[in-house]
Amino acid sequence: MPFARRMLVEERRWLSAEEFTDVLSLCQLLPGPNIVNVAVCVGARYHGVRGAVAAFAGLMTAPFFIMLALGVLYTEYGDLPAVSALFRGISAAAAGLVVAMGLKMATSRRLRSAMALFAVMTFIGIALMRLPLVVFLLGAAPLSVAATLWRAK
Amino acid sequence: MSEETLAQLAMDFSVLSLIAVGGAITVLPEMHRSVVEVHGWMSGAQFAEVFALAQAAPGPNILVVSLIGWKVAGLAGAVVATAAVCGPSCVLTFAVSRIWQRFRGARWRTAVEDGLVPVTVGLMLAGGYLITLSADHSWPAFATTALTAAFVLTTRIHPLWLFGAAGLIGLAGWV
């Protein structure tokens, strides 16, 4: 995202800094990877549907094929003892990265302490009770938004 | 396999697409539920591995679905899974981006933005918890996970270095 910001705001000047913040806040709110959403928004702003499609394709094509190449290598060699040992290490680290991102977000200022209850509820519902996410979100997300509205009064 | 599997991939991942607020990490628990627990397309350990691969590779993490699709149904699976996970959210973003400007500063808009934060935090922590349980089967593995998290939180080191180091630990046979 820092790279995207530098390219969009400083190098190409497609968006002002303020517009970028605005676009980003929308893209974080909508489902889908933030960076993909930013690409779609910026593409749409300049060239409608064609711009959005072009931006999406530009962003995703190369990584998609890299991923496929890795997938081929993985299915081909994934069963070799050395490779699976390597992967046991890497996947432990990858899990650590996710844990860190969660903790970082949990301690950020955007999470008001009174609202932490909803984070705990979500953790219990999803991680421990293994509720289906759609069902859970339909209940919890509106409640959380309503609580925010009520507190803001 | 084949067409039924492809339809299942398309179905499950389009739903994921519309609830993936914040990206791949928030739907990690649901992806795990669908791929490992409901359909049994791969084991928990395999799921943790393809997810690690997607994190290490360039591009958005959500491309983990390309790998899952590839593993489940080859090239067609990869294409279907990727299209399903990107399509609905992109269309929604496209539609909403055109009207969003109008609501700048509206009270409900701020409430929606702030209200979703705790849910996202809970989902990310749940994702971390579940992927750790899937990836780690020995105490050195748990230690590797904890150390990686500590390094990410306290230093500015690039995660790829940590992946490299953890890979070596794996190769050495310690996890």
- How much is the pLDDT for B142? 97
Backbone angles phi, psi at B39, to 5 degrees: -95, -20
CB A10 within 8 A of CB A17: no
Any A CB within 8 A of B76 CB: no
Helix (H), strand (E), coil (C) string for chain B: CHHHHHHHHHHHHHHHHHHCECCHHHHHHHHHHHHHHHCCCCCHHHHHHHHHHHHHCCCCHHHHHHHHHHHHHHHHHHHHHHHHHHHHHHHHHHHHHHHHHHHCCCHHHHHHHHHHHHHHHHHHHHHHHHHHHHHCCCHHHHHHHHHHHHHHHHCCCCHHHHHHHHHHHHHCCCC
Q: Residues of A with CB below 8 A from B119's CB?
A: 118-119, 122, 137, 140-141, 144
pLDDT at B1 over 70: no
Report the phi/psi class of residue A13: left, alpha or beta, with left for phi > 0 and alpha for psi in -120 to 50: left
Cβ separation B170–A66 shorter than 8 A: no
Q: What is the mean pLDDT of chain B?
A: 90
**What contacts A118, CB < 8 A, 6 or more positions away?**
A140, A143, A144, A147, B118, B119, B122
Helix (H), strand (E), coil (C) string for A110-132: CCCHHHHHHHHHHHHHHHHCCCC
Pairwise pLDDT comparison (A26 vs B153), residue with the higher score: B153
Nearest to B50 by CA among A143, A97, A87, A128: A87
User: In whole angstroms, what is the distance from residue A54 CA to residue A68 CA?
Assistant: 21
State the nearest Cα–Cα gap between A14 and chain B, in angstroms. 16
User: In whole angstroms, what is the distance from residue B73 CA to residue B122 CA?
Assistant: 32
Q: Residues of A with CB below 8 A from B27's CB?
A: 133
Give me the residue spans of the domains in chain B. Answer: 2-116
Q: Alpha-carbon Rg of chain A, whole angstroms?
A: 20
Q: Residues of B with CB below 8 A from A140's CB?
A: 119
**Residue to substitute from B17, B94, B147, B168, interface A, most A β-carbons within 10 A:** B94
Nearest to A94 by CA among B119, B140, B48: B48
∠ CA B34-B23-B115, rounded to 5° = 105
pLDDT tens-digit map of A69-113 = 988 888 888 889 999 899 999 999 999 999 998 898 888 777 777
Q: What percent of chain A has pLDDT over 90?
A: 37
- How much is the pLDDT for B57? 87
User: In whole angstroms, what is the distance from residue B67 CA to residue B33 CA?
Assistant: 16
CB pairs under 8 A between A and B: 345
pLDDT tens-digit map of B94-148 = 998 888 767 767 777 778 878 888 888 898 899 999 999 999 999 999 999 999 9
Any A CB within 8 A of B147 CB: yes
pLDDT at B24 over 70: yes
Cβ separation B49–A87 shorter than 8 A: yes
Of A49, A127, A144, Cβ closest to residue B29: A127
User: In whole angstroms, what is the distance from residue A12 CA to residue A42 CA?
Assistant: 12
* CA end-to-end distance (rounded Å), chain A: 34
- How much is the pLDDT for B113? 77
Any A CB within 8 A of B154 CB: no
User: In whole angstroms, what is the distance from residue B78 CA to residue A32 CA?
Assistant: 18
User: In whole angstroms, what is the distance from residue A23 CA to residue B24 CA?
Assistant: 19
User: In whole angstroms, what is the distance from residue A24 CA to residue A88 CA?
Assistant: 35
Q: Which stretch of B20-24, B38-42, B81-85, B139-143 has the lowest confidence by average pLDDT?
A: B20-24
Query: Which residues 5-64 on chain B approach chain A with CB closer than 8 angstroms?
Result: 15, 17-25, 27-30, 33, 37, 45, 48-63
Of A49, A82, A152, Cβ closest to residue B171: A82
